[in-house]
Structure 1
Amino acid sequence: MKPQIRITVLAAALALAGVAHAQEVLKIGFSGPLSGGAALYGKNVLSGMQMAAAEINAKPLEIGGKRYKLEIVALDDKYNPSETGINVQRLVQQHKTAAVLVPHSGGIFAVQAFNEKSKVLLLAYTSLPQATERGNTLTVRIPPDFTGYIAPFTKAMMTLHGKNVALAAADHDYAKAWAAAFKPAWEAAGGKVVAENPMSYNKATDFYSGVSRVLQSKPDVLFIGGASEPTALVAKQARELGFKGGFIIIDQAKIDEMAKVVGGLGALEGSVGVMPVTGDDRPEPAAFTARYRKLNPGKDPSSEISLNYSAVHATVAAMKLAGTVTDAVAIRAKMDQAFRTLPPALNPNDIEGLDSKGGTVANTIIGVVEKGKIKGQFLRALNAGK
């Protein structure tokens, strides 16, 4: 064989070898608020997803005999469900995503109108039980059902403050669903709803008039919640208007993030909400917090960060188990096993798997602000004694 022919054959062989080992791009989509009043919330969700992607890409990723690099494709929907639907269709058609994560109930319901037909797995970051109760076969609900919080929240606030509550949460679909479930439970426990005034948390920063209106009913407790920053402003303005009672904080808002806005936990004394990841001293949450802080100096991980971090790891694990990155039905079928077999380091919230409808199951911790500190209590134990 002539030298130049030998060189050509060798080059061709090397090129074929390169093709055999070339990485393909695996895309998971995201549509959530990256601007507007809920931007911090959306960016937290995305931060957890990106942290998981970086860890996954740090090692060889092989699925179905092919090598992949994971990419998170993020689009801003400004918390607008109609924008979510457009974004997800774009993610499916243009980016060929087999899985898309949406972190708000309005957007989730918009996507559920077409995701089964489009064969895309919907990773639903909402604790709203309706997300999986509708029977959508290609939906996985990432946080546990929020209704488990209601009895412990009610008991804590009635014990600490009294039985008169005013509802002043946000006016989006998720907050409305929380209020609709909370109100009859509060009344069944012997309480009274003395005022109701949902507010547009994502469109305003001045809540004085709305808060003043509900405070005229002299409540012992304020039921508040939406994204963390506006929720904190509602609490801050309530204190400035003389409110001395406690806050029931729905799980979308985070006590530690609120404390940064209101100048510390003092303004939130006697409140109840979801336990911050940074306050959970179990080994895996503590280790996760340390890793996140190392990667993001000066920032703390929220539950949106930790739960969606695990959701991405579980989705990729399900793809490995299914042997496909494109068949959403096969991937969905492996999601329960994927969550159950996640290494503890990748599962700081201790998700135990999925229930029969596709919602995660976990022994969540709630937090009560007492004497300037957040004290944690396991939800399962509290509900067992209700």
Structure 2
Amino acid sequence: MKKKNRFLLSCVTAGLLALAACSGESTTQSSGTQEPAPAEEVEAPETEAGEEVLNIGYTGPLSGPAAFYGENTVAGVRMAADEINEAGGFEVAGTTYKLNLVTLDDMYLPNEAGTNARRLVQEHKTPVVFVPHSGGVFATQVFNEQDNFMIAAYTSEPDILTQGNELTLRIPPSYDQYPEPFVTYQQERFGKRLALLPTATQYGKDWTEELVPVWEEHGGEVVYNGEVDFGKDTDFFPIVTNALNQDPDVIFVGGPSEPTALLMKAARDLGFEGGFMVMDQAKFEEMDSVVSLEEIEGAIGMLPIRDSDASGAENFISLFESEYGRVPTAESAFNYQALFVIVEAMKLAGTVEDPHAIMEQMDAGVKALPEDKFVWHLTGVVNNGFDWIASIAAIEDGQIVHIE
């Protein structure tokens, strides 16, 4: 009940328009004048004689406009830690450990994330810190190798793995895997005239830079180049009208799920009959309250976790719904699976303290993961990033269809 109440409070605080910050890709800086964020009060797990507690760190948005996103990411980590503890913990080099998740609120600000990560390591000796936004990851990469801890990065921004940082693990798929299948599907089904209406954030700009060259390489053209500030814009009809005046076959959209759905609905209400490419920030399962699947026929985006056929998906979804009273998203599912992999890597490395040794065993940790912990299909670790089978879906005849 405590978890459900905390989530509901976050939702009320955030609100629909405030969700515009929830991409996990904020680049906003704070003034640096805030007081240090307090640790969330978490009851340490009960231990028996000879058992030890291992702290796992998390810094993310737990208040303010991105609280909904932050709660989704941390919920998966928390749920995995609870399951591990309830099963008696895990053994490394003859010692049984139980996990204590220590969370700090960074309000989605990169410099606060960096400050929090350092505090987690210095005060709580966390060998791993989960960071669910690229701005926070980049800020933490400045010192994490020197301070000797691993970043479990939940962001699809590919550049986090081009920094030469050996102690960064990227959890979700990189978004650069999506343009090719998105473009192929949409051009074959609808045509080659594209209107751009993504979120105005840096994440939206980066996504667009990846997408447009692929669209053009396949013979397409961009007929309208716009963007939407979901934090300010509430009437989407003017910008959608401007885009439709250029007669596009396909519209590229993305941002927080519900506002993105409202934009798509506006396009349909104005007579648009083409397709939508939906960036990975927006989730079909979070659009249900705004549009029906029939209204977004022809859209291509992310496969909802509820449609996963992985061996552990059904059990995870059931447990999550029972615990939190809502349908899990990829943020919860991938972070849940990630903590189990990290624990397997610790077992194989024979240490819970040496992040280099743990990182070296991460690929083997994936392969040692019990079948019932695979919420989505994960094959290994490549260049410090989890190698997931692409989870792409399209809306066909009013149904969500997995695109291989």
Aligned residue number for residue 317 of structure 2: 289
Give 1:222 deviation, angstroms: 1.6
Contact (CA 8 Å) 1:38, 1:227: kept in 2 or not? no
Name which of 324, 343, 349 aligns with 1:316: 343
**Uncovered stretches (5+) of structure 1, i.e. residues with no partner:** 1-17, 379-386
Aligned residue number for residue 87 of structure 1: 116
Q: For residues 207-260 of structure 1, give each alpha carbon's deviation from its aligned partner in whole angstroms, at most 9, with x where no partner exists.
A: 4454444344332222112332332233234334443322111112211112x2
Q: For residues 328-378 of structure 1, give each alpha carbon's deviation from its aligned partner in whole angstroms, at most 9, with x where no partner exists.
A: 2222122111112101111221211111x2111122231110121101122
Aligned residue number for residue 376 of structure 1: 402
Name which of 154, 161, 183 aligns with 2:212: 183
Q: Percent identity?
A: 43
Name which of 75, 81, 89 aligns with 1:47: 75
Residue 251 of structure 2 corresponds to residue 229 of structure 1: no
Give 1:307 deviation, angstroms: 1.0
- How many residue pairs were aligned? 358
Task: Tell me how large the CA RMSD over aligned residues is.
Answer: 2.4
Q: For residues 60-99 of structure 1, give each alpha carbon's deviation from its aligned partner in whole angstroms, at most 9, with x where no partner exists.
A: 2233433332122222333322222222222222222111
Counterparts of 1:345 and 1:202 in 2: how far apart (Å)? Answer: 40
- For the structure 1 residues 75 and 181, does the alpha-carbon distance in structure 2 shift closer, same or farther, using more than 3 Å as the test? same
Aligned residue number for residue 60 of structure 1: 88
Contact (CA 8 Å) 2:253, 2:277: kept in 1 or not? yes
Counterparts of 2:159 and 2:213 in 1: how far apart (Å)? Answer: 18
Name which of 36, 60, 64 aligns with 1:32: 60
Name which one, 1 or 2, has greater alpha-carbon Rg: 1
**Uncovered stretches (5+) of structure 2, i.e. residues with no partner:** 1-45
Matched position secondary structure for 2:58: strand
Aligned runs of 1:179-258 on 2, under 5 Å?
179-201=208-230, 205-258=234-287
- For the structure 1 residues 134 and 50, does the alpha-carbon distance in structure 2 shift closer, same or farther, using more than 3 Å as the test? same
Matched position secondary structure for 2:358: helix
The residue type paired with residue 289 of structure 1 is I
Aligned runs of 1:358-373 on 2, under 5 Å?
358-373=384-399
Aligned residue number for residue 161 of structure 2: 132
Q: Normalised by the size of structure 1, how large is the TM-score?
A: 0.85
Q: 337-346 or 244-253: which moved more?
A: 244-253
Counterparts of 1:288 and 1:323 in 2: how far apart (Å)? Answer: 28
Give 1:32 deviation, angstroms: 2.2
- For the structure 1 residues 119 and 282, does the alpha-carbon distance in structure 2 shift closer, same or farther, using more than 3 Å as the test? closer
Counterparts of 1:281 and 1:318 in 2: how far apart (Å)? Answer: 25
Counterparts of 2:227 and 2:121 in 1: how far apart (Å)? Answer: 35
Contact (CA 8 Å) 1:106, 1:173: kept in 2 or not? no
Counterparts of 2:113 and 2:292 in 1: how far apart (Å)? Answer: 35
Give 1:20 deviation, angstroms: 8.2
Residue 298 of structure 2 corresponds to residue 303 of structure 1: no
The residue type paired with residue 365 of structure 2 is A
Q: 224-233 or 340-349: which moved more?
A: 224-233
Residue 365 of structure 2 corresponds to residue 345 of structure 1: no
Counterparts of 2:140 and 2:105 in 1: how far apart (Å)? Answer: 15
The residue type paired with residue 55 of structure 1 is E
The residue type paired with residue 231 of structure 1 is T
Counterparts of 2:164 and 2:193 in 1: how far apart (Å)? Answer: 37
- For the structure 1 residues 200 and 277, does the alpha-carbon distance in structure 2 shift closer, same or farther, using more than 3 Å as the test? same
Contact (CA 8 Å) 1:344, 1:350: kept in 2 or not? no
Counterparts of 1:200 and 1:25 in 2: how far apart (Å)? Answer: 44
Counterparts of 2:47 and 2:87 in 1: how far apart (Å)? Answer: 19
Counterparts of 1:202 and 1:351 in 2: how far apart (Å)? Answer: 34
Name which of 105, 108, 112 aligns with 1:76: 105
Aligned residue number for residue 264 of structure 1: 292
Q: 283-292 or 187-196: which moved more?
A: 283-292
Counterparts of 2:137 and 2:395 in 1: how far apart (Å)? Answer: 32
Residue 151 of structure 2 corresponds to residue 122 of structure 1: yes
Counterparts of 2:296 and 2:145 in 1: how far apart (Å)? Answer: 43
Q: For residues 179-230 of structure 1, give each alpha carbon's deviation from its aligned partner in whole angstroms, at most 9, with x where no partner exists.
A: 1110100011111112222333356555445444434433222211233233
The residue type paired with residue 347 of structure 1 is F
